[in-house]
Amino acid sequence: MWLGALSLLSGVFGTLSDRFGRQAGLIMVFALQGTAHLLVAVALPDAFLYVSIVLFGVCAWSIPSIMAAAVGDYLGPERAASAFGAITFAFGMGQIVGPGIAGVAAEAYGGFQVSFAIAAAMAAAAIALSAFLKKAPE
């Protein structure tokens, strides 16, 4: 419930990406998500689980809005819809495949810590890739 309630704040990252750029917005969100995943992956006291919930909750749905704005910036309104369709397809594939991979890892390693560590590593990779994002043409 808290995750859902906190996700209502995700829109703030779209505003931040409008102000500071898509690159900065994506890096901020991936850093928060990666930290949230890492807090669950590492054996810490239960209080850190609540910190993880807050961090993930406030940025849970921000990537789609930043990406929608980014494709509009880079491709213009005439090509943005088809590009966002492709991005949405990729998001969907990740949502289909990810839980299966997490389940296999949980069975193999006796818990979901490895899955959260992989998610944190993927967020770190996303930060690195976002760092190469060029400023959109004006």
Tens-digit pLDDT profile for residues 49-96: 999 999 999 999 999 999 999 999 999 988 999 999 999 999 999 999
pLDDT of residue 134: 87
Cα separation, 67 vs 81, in Å, equals 11
* For the chain, domain boundaries: 2-130
Instruction: Kindly tell me the burial class for residue 55, based on how many C-beta atoms sit within 10 Å of its own C-beta (0-12, 13-18, 19 or more).
Output: buried
Tens-digit pLDDT profile for residues 100-128: 999 999 999 999 999 999 999 999 999 99
Cα separation, 23 vs 120, in Å, equals 19
Tens-digit pLDDT profile for residues 71-80: 999 999 889 9
pTM of the model: 0.91
Cα separation, 79 vs 42, in Å, equals 42
